[in-house]
Chains A and B, each alone.
Chain A
């Protein structure tokens, strides 16, 4: 009896080299937990910084060394697909996460310490909070949480199996729920953001999981390739299949923050500590769209004619609603949250084309957007008042006269979001729109062009506020950051300019790798 059971469960093959980026990050996260347990509180921060940056470097080298044509294969018994898009997404996530890590590590801009609560368990505004802040304690648990989240993302974008996808999604999201609630300033808002993010995130993953269960009940497999075969061969009860795909779609669209599942985005982006927001808008966005691409192109690719109209509607709504509501925002962080929603719409336009150029276009858009958004949030951490970051837009009047450098860099990122030529945003938008036209969605592209015109208004408004108005008397001041934030801002500005001036190099690189394995 036992023998027969053992025969039905094949011994998993495990390609350690191919999986090494994921394994390195998991190992680093576990080491981080050990540091928490065995190091004294003064030494922890330094130890974490060493572990996190070394592991990011090693993981990225592992991606860079293996991502050539020879390193594209299925791993771990076909449950993880390390193909061209998989490697590119992993590399992008690691680079963007490195920039966010630099912002996490910054402790110079706020006189009280880094961006995180001294002790998350203390009551906001209480005596205990003041004591631990005075002692200079920091909540170093953020580092293992951050590293676990990255390893979840690396697995999520390469998951080739619905169960692996779900587990990776949870490994990526659960630490984020906690990180969202750990802000040093405005802690009530931050805790509230964590609660909202948790409840809605758990709802989304529950929906995704039930969709996976129904897909399994319909096709008899959890692996993307076999699901695709199962869908093509089976022809009974299409209702079950429709329900399954709809639920998976809702779960994934929740995660990417597409309209009408976007309500959590502005609240969570605004309440979270800014480094965490940059991580969510950058790396998490890349991961969520990477997972969405693979699920729908590989597992549900046979039904493209059934789900495409749905994506068209969602993409159109997301672009228009995101851009229009962003117009009405008076808070910079909230404006960027709606900008993130509307950019998600543009990515969905490319996604809906479902051809090979579409994969490359989506990947390029994700790279361009992730770096620009991390840069914009990094600059926000420098514009401060006594009570913390100054995110009320109207108070930024005349910032260009106080700090021309910060204002010019901010303008660069705003122009890139708006899709002005010579910035990465133009390359990205051009790519998704051409892909969509070749995929036959010309009407959607017209909506997209219209939405980007609306979006340009609120991006340009920021520039006008900073450069063409007189400063207000008690306005915000700009602090000089340590080397961490400086590197993060410089790197994102460089990527934004290089992708705008010389897009061909990276387009060629990505186009040659944009084929999913199954």
Chain B
């Protein structure tokens, strides 16, 4: 069981997430992609914990889950207000501000 494979996998998941945030137009999907990035980090943390035989990485994974939950609350609140105002959750339509 080579732990490098898990790091590579977490890298792939992270890239999918990052690209999702940058490319997808729906705020909810962009937001789900952020969650994907956080979970990729969790996989890397747990892999690190396995490689080094200490518990720091596993504790970190728990903290990240809690933070992700808090982020969901804030994120959905913001998206919901925008949706109620405009009847759309597209990030392209939120374009009143530009230089």
Contacts and interface: CB of A to CB of B under 8 A. Distances in A.
Interface residues of A, number: 48
A220 B85 contact: no
Contact of A206 (B41, B70, B97, B98): B41
**Residue of A123, A193, A207 ringed by the most chain B CB atoms within 10 A:** A207
A124 B81 CA distance: 10
Contacts of A271: 97
Contacts of B74: 174, 177-178, 198
Contacts of B78: 177-178, 181, 191, 194-195, 198
Interface string B46-72: 011001101111011001100100110
B interface, by DSSP: helix, strand, loop or mixed? helix
A210 B16 CA distance: 13
B44 A217 contact: yes
A330 B75 CA distance: 31
Interface stretch (A163-171, A358-366, A480-488): A163-171
Contact of A198 (B14, B38, B75, B85): B75
A167 B67 contact: yes
Interface residues of B, number: 49
B19 to A, nearest CB: 11
A206 B38 contact: yes
Interface of A: 8-9, 120-121, 123-124, 163, 166-167, 170, 174, 177-178, 181, 187-189, 191-196, 198-199, 202-203, 206-207, 209-210, 212-214, 216-217, 220-222, 240, 266-267, 270-271, 325, 328-329, 334
Interface of B: 7, 10, 14, 17-18, 21-22, 27, 30-31, 34, 37-38, 40-42, 44-45, 47-48, 51-52, 54-57, 59-60, 63-64, 67, 70-71, 74-75, 77-79, 81-82, 84-85, 91, 94-99
27 contacts: A8-B55, A163-B59, A163-B60, A166-B64, A166-B67, A174-B74, A189-B97, A198-B74, A199-B21, A199-B27, A202-B21, A206-B37, A209-B37, A209-B41, A210-B10, A213-B42, A213-B44, A213-B57, A216-B44, A216-B57, A217-B44, A217-B45, A220-B48, A220-B52, A221-B56, A222-B60, A266-B97
Given A166-B63, A181-B78, A206-B14, 14 more contacts: A166-B67, A170-B70, A174-B70, A189-B97, A198-B78, A199-B21, A199-B31, A206-B38, A207-B18, A210-B44, A213-B44, A213-B57, A240-B7, A267-B97
